[in-house]
Amino acid sequence: MDIQDLRIFARVAAVQNLSAVGAELGLTPGTISKRLQALEDELGVRLFDRTTRYIRITEEGSTFFAHAERILEELEQARASVSEKLQSPKGRLKMSAPIMLGRQFIAPAVRQFLTTYPDIDVQIDLSDRVVNLQEEGFDVAIRCGVLTDSALIAKRLLVDHYIIVGSPNYFAMHGRPVVPSDLSNHQCLVLGDALTWPLQENGGVESIRVAGRFRSNDSDLLRQAALDGQGLIRVMRSCAEADLASGQVERVLVPFEVTGNSAIWAVYSNSKYLLPKLRVLLDFMTEWFRTARPSG
């Protein structure tokens, strides 16, 4: 059995996207399909159900995947025992991060990471939408706030939480919200479909319905609108540090803000076979946020 075919199978089983795996391994989808077919012929079972629109792992494929993961992990450990693989990891990583957080913090961290690990390539896609790691071929995604339950593994990079801010010019013209219900009388700058803002009220957490004339899927556009006095914005505390320090924005509704288990997280697929290149990135990001993150 060809070990490369086993690696191809494991990545397709994890991602279930031929194009994404092809881009990662430098192979065409057609080549990957042929290698999978050869593996199926050798095993005498169908590992995937394939159509022109999707690829899904079969029950037999899932059973084989569990064994393949263990074999590849043991192979990697064997190689590391006689080489410098773990000390000098190589390869390509694909990462997703929110726009504002990505520009302010993730990009500087990755630039330093690339200097430290010259044999690793990193692709960062900045988007404020929640990506599907498996379907879109991402190795890791950076997410903010309180995470919802999922099958992904989450590594906390920094304890952080959302705050609500606006510019002094906006407050001079429209006043300040004093209680959460006051938000209905204010222009709120809405990110994507986030039309409810969770806040503490009456001893519990309530989702306050907000609205405003300016809405975007780009957090940087909303930040600029807030600086221009066009409304209130809900933003991670870390991303607002510089604007708070300069006095360009001020916080409101501080007693009502929700903190809890809110943080900046790195999330990745639940797999026993954690690639060394991803392991060193996660360790690097954790240490960078702890010691080197620029403050406002």
Residue 190 shares a structural domain with residue 252? yes
Task: Tell me the CATH number at 121.
Answer: 3.40.190.10
Task: Name 216's Cβ contacts closer than 8 Å, sequence gap at least 6.
Answer: 189, 190, 191, 192, 222
Would you place residue 214 in the very low, low, confident or very high pLDDT band (cuts 50, 70, 90)? very high
- What is the model's pLDDT at position 274? 74
Question: What's the average model confidence in pLDDT over 98-127?
Answer: 93
Residue 30 shares a structural domain with residue 175? no
| Candidate from 79-83, 200-204, 238-242, 265-269 with smallest mean pLDDT | 79-83
Residue 191 shares a structural domain with residue 61? no
Residue 77 shares a structural domain with residue 99? no
Q: Is residue 107 part of a domain?
A: yes
Would you place residue 273 in the very low, low, confident or very high pLDDT band (cuts 50, 70, 90)? low
Q: Is residue 282 part of a domain?
A: yes
Scored b (16 or more CB within 10 A) or e, 139-155 reads bbbbbbbeeeeeebeee
Give yes or no for a contact between 163 and 235, defined as CB atoms under 8 angstroms apart.
yes
Residue 106 shares a structural domain with residue 133? yes
CA distance 110 to 114: 6
Which of 69, 57, 54 lies closest to 6 in space, CA to CA?
69
| Candidate from 137-141, 182-186, 262-266, 271-275 with smallest mean pLDDT | 271-275
Residue 170 shares a structural domain with residue 208? yes
The number of domains in the chain is 3
- What is the model's pLDDT at position 178? 94
Domain end call among 81, 110, 135: 81
Domain end call among 81, 101, 127: 81
The identity of residue 258, as a single letter, is V
**What residue numbers bound the domain in which 19 lies?**
3-81
- What is the model's pLDDT at position 82? 55
Q: Give the residue, 165 or 26, on which the prediction is more confident.
A: 165
Residue 167 shares a structural domain with residue 222? yes
The identity of residue 229, as a single letter, is G
Residue 146 shares a structural domain with residue 175? no
β-strand partners of 52: none
The identity of residue 116, as a single letter, is T
- What is the model's pLDDT at position 260? 67
Domain end call among 81, 99, 125: 81
CA distance 244 to 186: 20
pTM of the model as a whole: 0.62
Give yes or no for a contact between 49 and 56, defined as CB atoms under 8 angstroms apart.
yes
Q: Give the residue, 238 or 201, on which the prediction is more confident.
A: 238
Question: What's the average model confidence in pLDDT over 236-241?
Answer: 88
CA distance 96 to 94: 7
Q: Is residue 264 part of a domain?
A: no
Q: Is residue 86 part of a domain?
A: no
DSSP string across the chain:
--HHHHHHHHHHHHH--HHHHHHHHT--HHHHHHHHHHHHHHHTS--EEE-SS-EEE-HHHHHHHHHHHHHHHHHHHHHHHTSSTTTS--EEEEEEE-HHHIIIIIHHHHHHHHHH-TTEEEEEEE-SS---HHHHT-SEEEEEESPPP-SSEEEEEEE--EEEEE-HHHHHHH----SGGGGGGS-EEEETT--EEEEEETTEEEEEE---S-EES-HHHHHHHHHTTS-EEEEEHHHHHHHHHHTS-EEE-GGG---SS-EEEEEE---S---HHHHHHHHHHHHHHHHT----
Residue 128 shares a structural domain with residue 76? no
Residue 35 shares a structural domain with residue 120? no
Residue 193 backbone phi and psi in degrees, to 5: -100, 15
Q: Is residue 144 part of a domain?
A: yes
Task: Tell me the CATH number at 56.
Answer: 1.10.10.10
Q: Is residue 263 part of a domain?
A: no
CA distance 56 to 15: 10
Q: Is residue 156 part of a domain?
A: no
Average pLDDT, the chain: 87
Q: Is residue 261 part of a domain?
A: no
In the chain, the percentage of residues whose pLDDT exceeds 90 is: 41
Would you place residue 24 in the very low, low, confident or very high pLDDT band (cuts 50, 70, 90)? confident
pLDDT at 293 over 50: yes
- What is the model's pLDDT at position 296? 39
Residue 12 shares a structural domain with residue 44? yes
Residue 133 shares a structural domain with residue 279? yes
